[in-house]
Chains A and B, each alone.
Chain A
Amino acid sequence: MEQLLWALFTMVLGVAGCAGYFYGSNALLDRIYPANAAARHAGLSAAQISTNINKSNAIRPWLFLGPALLLLTAFLIYPVIDSLRLSLYDADKESFLGLGNYVWLLGDSGFHESIFNNALWLIVVPSAATFFGLIIAALTDRIWWGNIAKSLIFMPMAISFVGASVIWKFVYDYRAEGQEQIGILNAIVVFLGGEPQAWITVPFWNNFFLMIILIWIQTGFAMVILSAALRGIPEETIEAAVIDGANPLQIFFKIMIPQIWGTIAVVWTTITILVLKVFDIVFALTNAQWSTQVLANLMFDWMFRGGGHSGRGAAIAVIIMVLVIPIMVWNIRRANAEMRGH
């Protein structure tokens, strides 16, 4: 409880500190380069006031940006550069190995397994989540209880990966044959006459059972965004198609989908980035046993297990980063294009 009070106190202090900084630094700037009514009263000439305005206009943006830039540099930009450097060094962070860690990665079976599994995740999860999101968005737009349905499908978004892992582990729960199954998946399998399986221990296929969890979480995100995009389609295009005698399926695939390709791409790439970073689900459910290793978990392993090897860990982080870069470039281009459009 005391700890919570400390947290609240820090929060108030932090906010007050920020407010104080912004207020104080601005007041200081106005005092050094006075340009307001007070300056006029003080008898400054118009030319002086206008240089003051120019100077303070050049400085003020940096006052506004200062704390944010400082934090971004300390917590994201510096670590990225330092990770690049560390990936070239041995575990002691001092002996230079060149590309040694990367060469080692190429021969490591754990890395091969991770790359293979990550490729599976990258193919399956974004496409499945986008697909289901699109289908559900299209379905729920046509019925009166659509918003309730959307809300329920969106809900997993609020659940942590660990929480979701527990929820699904219960779905996959396995009891030996003959016992009553308490996991719903095995209960259905037995009901249909099949044999119960310990789903998350079956190599290769278990990857898909883990992926289902992420698809379950991310479909809501895809649905929300695609549903907004579907609503943004001009009515006339659909009416014209109806008049031309197109059936609902044709309208959906030939008129609506082509108009929202841009949004589909955004959803796809956003989920792709999330997939590259996926860690919690594998960590919580299998901890990479039964051939379920992925890059983010492998990185965590090398960081902490058995004393840790910062060089190898950093090298894996760099690999994840390299995989993200194409999407990053695409995002920046898109943002730039949008800004010019304004």
Chain B
Amino acid sequence: MAATGSRAPLTWAVHLATLFLVAIWVLPTLGLFVSSVRDKDQISVSGWWTALTTSTQNKIFRAPGADGQVQRGDVFVITGDVLEGGPGVVSNFGISSRDPQAFQSGESAVLRDGSALTVKSDGTFEIVSSEEITKARGQRIFYQATSPPRFTFDNYRNVIAAENLGRSFINSLTVTIPATVIPILIAAFAAYALAWMEFPGRALLIAVVVGLLVVPLQMSLIPLLTKYNEIGAFFGVPAKTYLGIWLAHTGFGLPLAIYLLRNYIAGLPREIMESARVDGATDFEIFMKIILPLSFPALASFAIFQFLWVWNDLLVAIVFLGAGDSELVLTGRLNNLLGMRGGQWDILAASAFITILVPLLVFFGLQRYLVRGLLAGSVKGG
């Protein structure tokens, strides 16, 4: 009795607490995503959480001067559209900065030279004067417009074309694909040797691999860059090449690859290998025909880790590939934009989403393998 009585509120508390935490975790990303598809002008004047409501903006429009007037009967008229064809509804307008909302749309205001200005709610306006207008500079019209929510992919179109993001996307792919695939086979052979072959020094090698897992990348940068420069100078080729970064990422990824795969392969049943050996199979055949196919889940886990790590890496890319316009990868480009276009959220939001799109797709598509890999690496699954 008492148990069921206290259980129900507790369950509610669990639901609410989880919902609250999920909201905190999701809102930052959601906010930037919503902003990336909002109209450029709206991003900077209202919070993204108001994206679905109508927004109110105060703006200034300068009407054409004397050149724009047309004679209509015995009056001179200047016409135009303060919204310049854009969507929105004008609610108020004014003719001086001191009182920018003095008149309701549809009313007419008397200007200093005696002419009359009327702004309609659809944004069209008319200045009517009984004498020829002489002022070359046009009248300033202050107005308040409410515009409906607007969603657009313009921001994405802009950054891909103007900010060279397309180029960086290709660069990122160029770096990532070989750097993900090449280590797999190298690591798998080493892992098999460390798991199932008997040789002196095996325990020491495993300890070395575990130790290298945590070596800070920073230790490698200066010596490797020096070597790359020497080798580049020796052969007369640039020091910063794709080949260099592929090799670097392969080397940096190997400890994790060997560790994950060794744990997995060591957990495979001994009988399989022994029966194959009785049938006369060599280690090479056992590895190619039995171990490799059986290890697919572990290979997939590592491939996902390596893919995410290489794609998201900034440090190795700017050190070994460079920070020039043509060689920047997506993370480097985004970092540059963050520095140069600090407040331009239309550009930043769309760029950020282009850089995280591929990892997110990989993540949601292959999450199962990612989780399995994490567990094998840390709690030692099985």
Interface residues of A (CB under 8 A from B): 1, 3-4, 6-8, 10-11, 14-15, 18-19, 22-23, 26, 30, 36-37, 57-58, 60-62, 64-65, 67-69, 71-72, 74-80, 82-83, 86, 93, 132, 135-136, 139-140, 142-143, 146, 149, 151-163, 165-171, 173, 180-184, 187, 216, 219, 221, 224-225, 228-229, 248, 263, 266-267, 270, 273, 276-277, 279-280, 283-285, 287, 296, 299-300, 303, 310, 313-314, 316-318, 320-321, 324, 327-328, 331-332, 335-336, 338-339, 342
Partner of A71, one of B175, B193, B226, B251: B251
**Cβ-defined contact, B18 with A4, below 8 A:** no
Q: Digit string of B184-210 for contact with A (CB within 8 Å is 1, else 0)? A: 011101101110011100110111111
Q: Would you list which residues of chain B between 204 and 233 have a CB under 8 Å from chain A?
A: 205-224, 226
Q: Total A-B residue pairs with C-beta atoms closer than 8 Å?
A: 348
Q: B338, A284: Cβ atoms under 8 Å?
A: yes
Q: Does B28 lie within 8 Å of A168, measured CB to CB?
A: yes
**Of A11, A23, A285, A328, the contact of B178 (CB 8 Å cutoff):** A11
- Is there a chain A Cβ closer than 8 Å to B44's Cβ? yes
Contacts of A82 in B (CB 8 A): 222-223, 226
Bin chain B's interface residue count.
Answer: 35 or more
A145's closest neighbor in chain B, by CB?
B18
B23 smallest CB distance to A (angstroms): 9
Q: Are B218 and A296 in contact (CB under 8 A)?
A: yes
4 new A-B contacts, CB < 8 A, other than A11-B178, A14-B182, A65-B194, are A3-B170, A60-B193, A162-B312, A225-B379
Write the nearest CB–CB distance from B219 to chain A, whole angstroms. 5
Q: Are A8 and B177 in contact (CB under 8 A)?
A: yes
Q: Is B276 an interface residue (CB 8 A)?
A: no
Residues of A within 8 A of B345 (CB): 170, 173, 182
CB within 8 Å for A321 and B25 given contacts A22-B189, A36-B280, A68-B258 = no
Whether the Cβ atoms of B17 and A228 lie closer than 8 Å is: no
Assess the A68–B190 pair: CB atoms within 8 A: yes
Inter-chain contacts of A318 with B (CB < 8 A): 219
Residues of A close to B312: CB separation below 8 A: 158-163
> Please, how many angstroms separate the alpha-carbon atoms of A10 and B245 in the complex?
13
| CB–CB A332/B210 < 8 A | yes
Complex Cα spacing A300 to B254, Å: 24
- Which of B74-82, B91-99, B108-116, B357-365 lies at the interface? B357-365
Cβ contact of B282, chosen from A30, A162, A183, cutoff 8 A: A30
In the complex, the 3 A-B pairs of residues with the closest C-beta atoms, listed nearest first = A75-B251, A160-B312, A158-B363
The reply to whether B182 and A18 form a contact with Cβ atoms under 8 Å apart is: yes
Determine whether the beta carbon of A76 is less than 8 Å from that of B247.
Answer: no
* A-B contacts, 28 listed (Cβ < 8 Å): A6-B242, A10-B178, A11-B178, A36-B280, A61-B193, A72-B255, A75-B220, A77-B212, A136-B21, A143-B18, A155-B25, A156-B25, A157-B363, A158-B308, A158-B356, A159-B359, A162-B312, A162-B335, A166-B348, A182-B46, A182-B47, A266-B379, A279-B218, A280-B331, A320-B216, A328-B211, A332-B211, A336-B207
Complex CA gap A65/B370 in Å reads 26
Are A23 and B375 in touch, CB under 8 angstroms? no
The CA-CA distance from A180 to B185 in the complex, in Å, is 55
B32 touches A158 (CB 8 A): no
State A320–B170 Cα separation when bound (angstroms).
Answer: 34
Q: Does A339 lie within 8 Å of B203, measured CB to CB?
A: yes
B352 → A minimal CB distance (Å): 4
The residue from B190, B217, B339, B360 contacting A158, defined by CB atoms under 8 A apart: B360
* Residues of chain A with a CB closer than 8 A to B217's CB: 277
- B 315-355 to A, binary, CB cutoff 8 A, 1 in contact else 0: 10000000000000001001100110000010011011001
**Residues from chain A with Cβ under 8 Å of B28 in the complex:** 167-168, 170-171, 184, 216
- B289 CB → nearest A CB, Å: 13
The contact of A36 among B43, B282, B352, by CB within 8 Å, is B282
Tell me the residues in window 236-258 of chain B with beta carbons closer than 8 Å to chain A beta carbons: 242-243, 246-248, 250-252, 254-255, 258
Chain B residues within 8 Å of A, Cβ to Cβ: 10-11, 14-15, 17-18, 21-22, 25-29, 31-32, 35, 43-49, 170-171, 173-175, 177-178, 181-182, 185-187, 189-190, 192-194, 197-199, 202-203, 205-224, 226, 242-243, 246-248, 250-252, 254-255, 258, 266, 280, 282-284, 287, 308, 311-315, 331, 334-335, 338-339, 345, 348-349, 351-352, 355-356, 359-360, 362-364, 367, 370-371, 374-375, 378-381
Contact indicator A160/B355 (Cβ below 8 Å) = yes
Complex Cα–Cα for A19 and B220 (A): 28
CB neighbours (8 Å) of B173 from chain A are: 4, 7
A75 to B255, CA, bound (A): 11
**Chain B neighbourhood of A279, CB < 8 A:** 218, 314-315
User: Quick check: B315 and A300 within 8 Å, CB to CB?
Assistant: yes
CB <8 Å contact, B29 and A167: yes
B residues near A273, Cβ cutoff 8 Å: 214
B185 cross-chain contacts in A, Cβ below 8 A: 15, 18-19, 22
**How many angstroms from the CA of A151 to the CA of B171 in the assembled complex?**
29
Given A7-B174, A152-B22, A342-B266, A229–B379 Cβ distance below 8 Å? yes
A163–B331 CB distance below 8 A? yes
Nearest Cβ in chain A — how far from B296, in angstroms? 16
Q: Chain B contacts of A320 at CB under 8 A? A: 216, 218-219
Q: How far is the CB of A321 from chain B (nearest CB, A)?
A: 5
| Residues of chain B lying within 8 A (CB to CB) of residue A7 | 173-175, 177-178, 242
Tell me whether B251 and A284 are in contact (CB under 8 A).
no
Bound form: Cα–Cα A287–B342 in Å? 13
Given A71-B247, A225-B378, is A153 in contact with B21 using a C-beta cutoff of 8 Å?
A: yes
Docked-complex contact B338 and A165, CB < 8 angstroms: yes
Q: How far apart sit A125 and B379, CA to CA, in the bound complex (Å)?
A: 21
- The answer for the CA separation of A128 and B364 in the assembled complex, in Å, is 25
Q: How far is the CA of A173 from the CA of B44 in the complex (A)?
A: 11
Q: Residues of A contacting B266 with CB < 8 Å?
A: 342
Find chain B residues with CB under 8 A from A143 CB: 11, 14-15, 18
Listed residue (A68, A74, A169) with the most chain B CB atoms within 10 angstroms of its CB: A68
Closest residue to B345 on the A side, CB-wise? Answer: A170
Expressed in whole angstroms, the minimum distance between the Cβ of B290 and any Cβ of chain A is 15
